[in-house]
Amino acid sequence: MSKTFRLQILSPEGLQLDVETDSVCLPALDGALGVMGGHAPMLAALRDGEVRYRQDGQWKSVPISGGTGEMTGQTLVILLHPGQYPA
Protein backbone atom coordinates (compact mmCIF):
# COMPACT_ATOMS: atom_id res chain seq x y z
CA MET A 1 0.00 0.00 0.00
CA SER A 2 1.35 3.43 -0.91
CA LYS A 3 1.72 6.28 1.54
CA THR A 4 -0.69 9.13 1.01
CA PHE A 5 -0.28 12.80 1.82
CA ARG A 6 -2.33 15.97 1.63
CA LEU A 7 -2.05 18.31 -1.37
CA GLN A 8 -3.25 21.86 -0.82
CA ILE A 9 -3.26 24.70 -3.35
CA LEU A 10 -3.61 28.14 -1.78
CA SER A 11 -4.04 31.52 -3.43
CA PRO A 12 -4.62 34.96 -1.90
CA GLU A 13 -8.32 34.29 -2.56
CA GLY A 14 -8.21 31.22 -0.29
CA LEU A 15 -8.00 27.44 -0.43
CA GLN A 16 -8.39 26.24 -4.04
CA LEU A 17 -7.73 22.51 -3.65
CA ASP A 18 -7.42 20.15 -0.68
CA VAL A 19 -7.09 16.45 -1.54
CA GLU A 20 -5.44 13.26 -0.35
CA THR A 21 -3.04 11.80 -2.93
CA ASP A 22 -0.14 9.39 -3.28
CA SER A 23 1.73 11.10 -6.13
CA VAL A 24 2.18 14.65 -7.48
CA CYS A 25 4.13 16.02 -10.43
CA LEU A 26 5.09 19.70 -10.16
CA PRO A 27 6.28 22.08 -12.90
CA ALA A 28 9.49 23.20 -11.16
CA LEU A 29 11.79 25.79 -12.69
CA ASP A 30 14.38 23.08 -13.49
CA GLY A 31 11.82 20.65 -14.97
CA ALA A 32 9.27 18.19 -13.67
CA LEU A 33 9.51 17.29 -9.99
CA GLY A 34 7.84 14.18 -8.61
CA VAL A 35 6.61 13.95 -5.03
CA MET A 36 5.41 10.75 -3.37
CA GLY A 37 4.35 9.86 0.16
CA GLY A 38 7.24 10.05 2.62
CA HIS A 39 9.12 12.64 0.52
CA ALA A 40 11.80 14.61 2.37
CA PRO A 41 11.00 18.23 3.27
CA MET A 42 11.62 20.54 0.31
CA LEU A 43 10.94 23.95 -1.14
CA ALA A 44 10.63 24.49 -4.91
CA ALA A 45 9.95 27.45 -7.19
CA LEU A 46 7.24 26.60 -9.74
CA ARG A 47 6.78 27.83 -13.31
CA ASP A 48 3.72 27.97 -15.55
CA GLY A 49 2.33 24.51 -16.17
CA GLU A 50 0.14 21.85 -14.61
CA VAL A 51 0.18 20.32 -11.17
CA ARG A 52 -0.69 16.67 -11.80
CA TYR A 53 -1.87 14.46 -8.95
CA ARG A 54 -3.26 10.95 -8.64
CA GLN A 55 -6.53 10.48 -6.81
CA ASP A 56 -8.44 7.18 -6.64
CA GLY A 57 -6.09 5.71 -9.26
CA GLN A 58 -6.74 8.47 -11.83
CA TRP A 59 -4.49 11.37 -12.79
CA LYS A 60 -5.98 14.85 -12.53
CA SER A 61 -4.39 18.20 -13.31
CA VAL A 62 -4.66 21.82 -12.28
CA PRO A 63 -3.13 24.58 -14.45
CA ILE A 64 -1.03 27.14 -12.57
CA SER A 65 1.01 30.20 -13.48
CA GLY A 66 3.91 29.72 -11.13
CA GLY A 67 4.25 29.85 -7.38
CA THR A 68 6.04 27.95 -4.62
CA GLY A 69 5.71 24.35 -3.46
CA GLU A 70 6.66 23.25 0.05
CA MET A 71 6.62 19.70 1.38
CA THR A 72 6.60 19.41 5.18
CA GLY A 73 5.58 16.27 7.04
CA GLN A 74 2.57 14.78 5.28
CA THR A 75 1.45 17.95 3.44
CA LEU A 76 2.47 19.50 0.12
CA VAL A 77 1.36 23.14 -0.01
CA ILE A 78 1.44 25.10 -3.24
CA LEU A 79 1.28 28.87 -2.77
CA LEU A 80 0.13 30.82 -5.82
CA HIS A 81 0.57 34.49 -6.56
CA PRO A 82 -2.51 36.72 -6.97
CA GLY A 83 -4.64 35.88 -9.99
CA GLN A 84 -2.79 32.63 -10.82
CA TYR A 85 -5.59 30.11 -10.29
CA PRO A 86 -8.14 29.61 -13.05
CA ALA A 87 -11.59 30.94 -12.25
**Over the chain (87 residues), what is each successive 10-residue block's mean pLDDT?**
87 93 96 93 95 95 94 95 62
According to the model, what pLDDT value does residue 23 have? 97
Q: Sign of the CA dihedral 80, 81, 85, 87?
A: positive
According to the model, what pLDDT value does residue 85 have? 57
Separation between Cα atoms, residue 19 and residue 55, nearest integer Å: 8
Q: Which domains are seen in the chain, by residue range?
A: 5-79 (2.60.15.10)
According to the model, what pLDDT value does residue 13 have? 86
According to the model, what pLDDT value does residue 12 have? 87
According to the model, what pLDDT value does residue 71 have? 96
